[in-house]
Structure 1
Amino acid sequence: MQIHDVTITKNVQNIFSSFSTLNIFLNVFALHSNGESGTIPNKYYVIFRSVAATTILGSINFYTLYFKVSNVYDQINASIKYTDAVQMVYDFWQYTIDLYFVYQYGREMSVEYFKLYGNIDKTLGVHYYSALRRKLLKLISIFLCIWLLSSICDFAAWALSIGWIIPTMFSVAYFYLLIKILTTLDLSAHAFHIECRLRSICDLLQDCYRRVDCSSGAVDYIHNKDWLYSDACTRVLKLQMQYDPNKIPYNISRDVKSLSKVYLMLLEQVAFINTMFGVRILLNILSFLIDMIRFTNIAVRVLIGSQHTTYDTGYWPGLSSTLRLLTCVAVLLSLVCQCENVYRQNDNLLNVIDHLLINKKPSDLLRHDATQLRDLIKSRPIRFNMVNFLTLNNSLLLSLTSVVVTYTIIILQSVN
């Protein structure tokens, strides 16, 4: 039991370390409440940090809004003015809600969340933390570079068009965009962990499939061909469980039964993720939608000359707004793509089990356990949702695209 606890503790530390790079950036905005190695941070320290972050960012936010109302808004198009004011108030309100959910679910509950991962990894007997860390680091680097490039280009374009003072007052929007990017990366990191464990279950099931004899008269056309899922060659690791040749049916059945328990634990993890991020991601996506509509509006009006600038710099402000629009699109595409990868593992699990039940000759016990796992996966598929209002999938992207295109058409028809 002591060795078991030590192993779980080590797993928890490794899991926490896989988030370490992202946690550095989240801590800058007080959006991370987990202590080192899963320890619980002091309650009053978390509250103080959240209040300080809200006060500092809120002071900057409302000072710049006051400056815009007093000195800027009378010089710009009404649609740009109103959408910018709404966005500033909305972003600050959203950030406050982010801090509340981080405080509410990021302390004792998050510790239990990481401990359950430790139990899952103990059951699966796998270690992929360094690969997860590298994958997350790569994603963070890509989006930080995109954010930095789009922000610098936008600031430079507007500074050349209207001077540097006004763009400086608008630059708080760059930091709100960074906060939204970090929040989506945080959810993506959790999706990575769910996906990797589903992949591990899939590997174990495929190994079981290969060890069971074919049914009489059947030919195993997919044996040793990785036909069950096409991305097997890109796996971080290949799991090969060792069975006692004299007790293969018993051991395989036992392991399939344990995989049902692991899947149930993963459902609990996803339930926590949906609770932690559901409202935040819903507000986040609405904010991205407002941003995309706003950037489209600015780009169209600058490019057709409806919004005038102090200096003649051509179409650079419009192009920089388009670049920021594409940044929002890239963030949403990445988030949905990570969630779809998780859903694809659910389909892979069902695929492997179907082949096992139809093409092979499993024992009665193994057939019962495999059928039980299949029914569980089919009746309770893993889904990331926003407070049961929307599911993060490709259909959501189509809906957002429809809204942005519709609004763009309205803009083009309303421009004098």
Structure 2
Amino acid sequence: MPETIRAVRGMNDILPDESGLWDFFDDTIRSWLSAYGYRSIRTPIVEQTDLFVRSIGEVTDIVEKEMYSFVDQLNGERLTLRPEGTASCVRAVIEHNLLYAGPQRLYYSGPMFRHERPQKGRYRQFHQVGVEALGFTGPDIDAELIVMCARLWRLLGIEDVRLEISTLGSSESRAVYRTRLINYLEQFYDALDEDARRRLKTNPLRILDSKNPALREILQNAPHLFDDLDEESHAHFAALQQLLHDQGIEFEINHRLVRGLDYYNRTVFEWVTDKLGAQGTICAGGRYDGLIAQIGGKPAPACGFAMGIERILSLISQIDEVKENIAPDVYVVHQGSVASRFAWKVAEFLRDNGLKVILHSGGGKFKSQMKKADASGARFAAVIGDDEATAEQVSIKSLRTTAEQVRINFTEMAVFLKTFNEDGR
């Protein structure tokens, strides 16, 4: 026997029992974003490697250790499977001159790729929804993005999620702070771990996000970026806080909050939960006013966020209402040659009336078919024998209540099923 071929480590199949939840999430996302005027953009999974080197930063973990990059053997191009979506979205906006028509509210959804150690909530192929608002300068768009997220958690029934916000200021104020932070950390050089020593000269702000308990103790007394903020960044952050207060959005200011990507400035935020262990961030974003020019476009402000779909789905997978929405409404059971032909007509009629229907295939006795109907999660079984078919009637059995089975004309089925109450009336 040939050796069984398995999926690549860290790249997972989404099986039928799970895909219904993904469909529910996708439908919710489309409705949620359209309510705020955001439009879909779809970009390639593969991009020029230089796009991510220039946007994310050459000395970030993603570029140094995590990107799936290769050389196209046909033309020698250096290509990379996208590790995140913002750079691709911005590249498309520049290439097609979308900002010529004015500011853009855009979103995308799809797989991203990073070569990390697979663990719960962190995979090598993972999926994100990204939302980007390009061409907007004020803190009102930062606030809108955060308020949008709060609405999504309500729509999905997700609780116990907290918002952390901060500001990275301007590139000039960050440069001043960077020098002060390096000077402080160099006093503890011997106590720094290997990762922190490597970042000390290249990306010292990332040290603030260290999970090393010993290092976090050192960071307790590290200088705050707030002390070096320019006046405009202070005003921007104060206005953001006021807007969030006005909308009843609770938040914590986290002075250690930084982003792993180089292109962020001013507002940064994360939505965090304690229900997922170490991988507790389910959504993160902020402002990246310099990225469009960095990639080669005309300078323009921008702000956005990305959320990990796998992490969010793990928080809603136990919600009963979601499972009910995924299940079919009716499972059509039939036995006999006349019944089998009539069953097709019944199933299509119900679908024409907006109901989700499984038509039993493969024959079998009524008892075995009813077992499959119950296992499908359907609310009703439509039972058809030759007698029912000859009379153009259907027996309706509720699979989730104790209501008695009733026999009705098939043209009355849709109204009956849609108005059926839990007490059987």
Same fold (TM over 0.5): no
Q: Please state which structure has a larger fraction of its residues in strand.
A: 2
TM-score norm. by structure 1 comes to 0.22
Larger Rg: 2
